[in-house]
Structure 1
């Protein structure tokens, strides 16, 4: 007899209950494979480029994610959509930079009458996939509008059939836990939430194992305050505890896909919304969260898709979070709405072959006032402005006087040696690119939003 998993039973399961609840899959390994691929996007908060074993961490143990890298593809030069939460999540959901969809900065839950959030005018990846017959679920942090302020900002109004998670960052007050449209816990028990989100994602996969599904598992760890049932296990302190717990539960989800016989039908993506905050490692990159230096926006990116993505591949060309939506749509034979400018590029050929796809320039929008600070073209990166100083301390953002700065990221990933005086013609070319792109983006936003 198969085990039955309900929302309430999973919600109340403790550490011991996890092993019992997940012990028996709801379908056998002989379940016929779906012709349409499933997609699982595991999206974590404030994970640094150097926080995984497969990205060089000597302290954080991540055997599951390291295994994904061995069996799938690891990107060395992948960028978030922004160095902070909200615009980065907007990039994932819409394939657009945050300022284009009128979400240039972090949203806060107060005051409650603030009308800020993702517009119904935008089409999310969940909405696109629902059109293609997918079951869609979000488990974790939303941060694209407070449902308690405006009901239309609820993720279930933007293409998701199922929601279990928190509406914004775990350091904001209050921190409610939603089960679909109902708040079931406030404040959320943060030490247990990584496990509980994973349990709910597993339950959703079981429920929809015989149809195509999209799971967006958006852990709010290792964003501070750090909390974990794995406390004290990691040589990398509390940050490492949270990362190692996430790694473990990614393994639980992958094991469930195996048990259900749908692993080879499922594309699993793992990445982060931006670089590390006060703790965590940016590897050999300069900068941290809130900065448009590499450490603030270059993040781990792994994709495992048996039989599609080549095993053990390393992709060394640039990619960005805005590319995820057009790539996934290409994989199911769909396209973004023709009336919407999409900033992302289809990287499906790169995923399938490991061969270079020229996705064009990478743009670095900061998360304070939505200013376009930098552009990458090939190995070259030009800063024309940059965010500096402490983040969310009341002092705000400041622009430094040393720009423009030009770096060769292939030889100088730390952005230590400014070459602008050696290549003035390239500085001017890239500065012109920034001005033109930003002007076009702002004109597009003004046409849609009047601002």
Structure 2
């Protein structure tokens, strides 16, 4: 009898221990918000209904942004893909982590190699006990050590490469870059639908997890090729009689993307995760004008350091912390998301970042500008791009830029001339010289970091 009572006591204490542990885990999870970062590809500043598009319907993204704060003065780090992604995931200027340009399949036309020692958002959240996932487009390396599972992500379901040559075949230069972690896969369907479905599966699985999650959902839409499902094009043409056929296809691709994001948010809601999840929505650069993109009244677009290539639609949602339907013209850029979501999650921000948290703005507080000088740069080469190394620096209302290596530097006052039409380079030489010196010093700083794959050392016998 005494032994039976002793066993019952031990069982009771063990049960209490398990229950207490589960309560503590649940409390820790509820105290630490999940983070969902949605990055779309080449979405123009004016290509959402909520940002002024009149021939396009984006109810899901508009509704998402209306749950929190809409930014009207948010910038991508670079006017092309890989560098902005590197900046967002490291909190550094892209050149300082080895990604000044686009990483591509062929080494002779690849312009970056993610610094192996760079700390990623996924590294930080993983170390903090989060389950980390990336779904969609990686575009920061095609081989070890620069694959997602080696850069802090517990789960990868998506595309290693840059653009897809076909949204249904999922190839680039006839190479299959679709992966489930390290395994090559060959799924069927439109890439946007696949990434949506995989994100929904991830969220459903996380609903019963004791760990909070960090999910980076990187769609490749609406990047070229402009290949929406045909029924979406037909819907746009019926609704918008007389629309240019090229524009109709892009609108359809964006509306198809919008519906996919709506499914992801609906899954988040149904899984009971919305109240405990910070959601970020942004684009990696401006829209591509040659395929019909709308960058509002901004000058130029993708591949340009004029405003149309850099300013992007962005919103941040956090229920009960960020006021719904709020709006801010506070200036921030892609890399600043890194310390912002870390601070929001109560995670220590790594030292040495170029990025600065704008969490006070999200909470409705005042905040001084994040930095005095803002740098934008893209390093590229080859005859196709005409040696396309371009850069810009902004300091206060002033912006100095060189949008072609074969053109002189240009100087604009964005407060007086937001459309960048009145070049003051010849009229204000003091400001021109001051900002030229800033840009030159920054470029010299970037030169300390290699951006090509290290050459393998061979033994003397070889």
Task: Specify if TM > 0.5.
Answer: yes
Residue 267 of structure 1 aligns with which residue?
278
**TM-superposed deviation, 1:136:** 0.9
Q: Does 1:70 align with 2:70?
A: no
Moved more, 176-185 or 370-379: 370-379
Distance 1:57 1:143, change over 3 A: same
Give yes or no for the alignment of 1:164 onto 2:157. Answer: yes
Question: For 1:98-130, what per-residue CA distance to the aligned partner results, in whole angstroms no more than 9, with x for missing partners?
Answer: 211111111111359999632321111011100
Q: How far apart in 2 are the matches of 1:377 and 1:87? A: 21
Check whether the contact 2:57–2:255 (CA below 8 A) recurs between aligned residues.
yes
User: How far 1:337 moved relative to its partner?
Assistant: 3.2
Question: 1:93·1:325 contact (CA, 8 Å) conserved in 2?
Answer: yes
Q: Given that residues 114 and 140 in structure 2 are in contact (C-alpha distance below 8 angstroms), is that contact kept between their aligned partners in structure 1?
A: yes
**Partner residue, 1:355:** 366
Deviation, structure 1 residue 175: 4.2
Q: Which runs of 5+ in 2 are unaligned?
A: 1-25, 166-171, 241-246, 382-387, 456-462
2:6 is matched with: none
Q: Secondary structure at the match of 2:411?
A: strand
Shift of 1:374: 1.2
Q: Which residue of 2 aligns with 1:36?
A: 32
Report the equivalent of 1:208. 206
Q: CA RMSD in A?
A: 2.6
More helix by share: 2
1:400-442, Cα deviation, whole Å (9 max, x unpaired):
13x2x22222332221112334433322222222222332333
Aligned match for 2:339, one of 323, 326, 342 = 326
Deviations 1:151-209 (A, max 9, x none): 32211111111111111221331243212211111xx65x6111111111111112122
Larger Rg: 2
Q: Deviations over 1:365-411 (max 9, x none)?
A: 1242695621112222112x223xxxxxxxxxx4313x2x2222233
Residue matched to 1:433: 438
SS in 1 for 2:234: coil
- The answer to whether the 8 A contact 1:290-1:367 is kept is no
- Whether the 8 Å contact between 1:372 and 1:438 is mirrored in structure 2 is no
Residue 318 of structure 2 is aligned to residue 305 of structure 1: yes
- Deviation track 1:75-102 (CA, whole Å, cap 9, x = no partner) reads 1111112111111111111111221111
Q: Is the 8 A contact 2:103 2:111 kept in 1?
A: no
1:378 aligns with 2:396: yes
Match of 1:25 in 2: none
CA contact (8 A) 2:112 2:451 kept: no
Asked whether the equivalents of residues 44 and 272 of structure 1 are also in contact (C-alpha less than 8 Å), the reply is yes
TM-score w.r.t. length of structure 2: 0.80
Question: Are the structure 2 counterparts of residues 298 and 353 from structure 1 closer, same or farther at C-alpha, using a change threshold of 3 Å?
Answer: same
Deviation of residue 294 (structure 1)? 0.8
CA change 1:356–1:411 in 2 (3 A) is farther
Aligned equivalents of 2:255 and 2:315: distance in 1?
A: 16
Structure 2 CA distance for aligned equivalents of residues 178 and 112 of structure 1: 24
Aligned pair count? 399
SS at match of 1:438: helix
**Aligned equivalents of 1:359, 1:113: Cα separation in 2:** 34
Where 1:327 maps in the other structure, the secondary structure is helix
Structure 2 CA distance for partners of 1:247 and 1:152, relative to 1, 3 Å: same
Q: Which residue of 2 aligns with 1:240?
A: 251
- Distance in 2 between the 1:232 and 1:427 partners? 50
Matched, 1:100 2:91: no
Give the distance between the partners of 1:250 and 1:410, measured in 2 at CA. 34
Contact 1:87 1:103 survives alignment (8 Å): yes
Aligned residue runs from structure 1 range 146-225, under 5 A? 146=142, 150-168=143-161, 169-171=163-165, 172-173=172-173, 174-185=175-186, 192-209=190-207, 210=209, 211-225=211-225
* Secondary structure of the corresponding residue to residue 417 of structure 1: coil
Q: In the alignment, is the contact (CA less than 8 A) between 1:315 and 1:354 conserved in 2?
A: no
Inter-partner Cα distance in structure 2 for 1:129 and 1:327: 13
Q: Secondary structure at the match of 1:137?
A: strand
Q: Which residue of 2 aligns with 1:399?
A: 406
1:347: how far off? 0.8
- How far apart in 2 are the matches of 1:113 and 1:380? 33
1:8-53 CA distance string (max 9 Å, x none): xxxxxxxxxxxxxxxxxxxxxxx98721111111111111111111
**Secondary structure, aligned partner of 1:128:** helix
Which secondary structure does the structure 2 equivalent of 1:153 belong to?
coil
Alignment CA distance shift 1:108-1:84 (3 Å): same
Counterpart residue number, 1:14: none
Matched, 1:46 2:57: no
Task: After TM superposition, give the deviation of residue 349 of structure 1 in Å.
Answer: 0.8
Tell me the CA shift for residue 59 of structure 1.
1.1
Tell me what 2:355 maps to.
Answer: 344
8 Å CA contact retained: 2:164, 2:225 = yes
Are the structure 2 counterparts of residues 294 and 375 from structure 1 closer, same or farther at C-alpha, using a change threshold of 3 Å?
Answer: same
3-state DSSP of counterpart to 1:151: coil
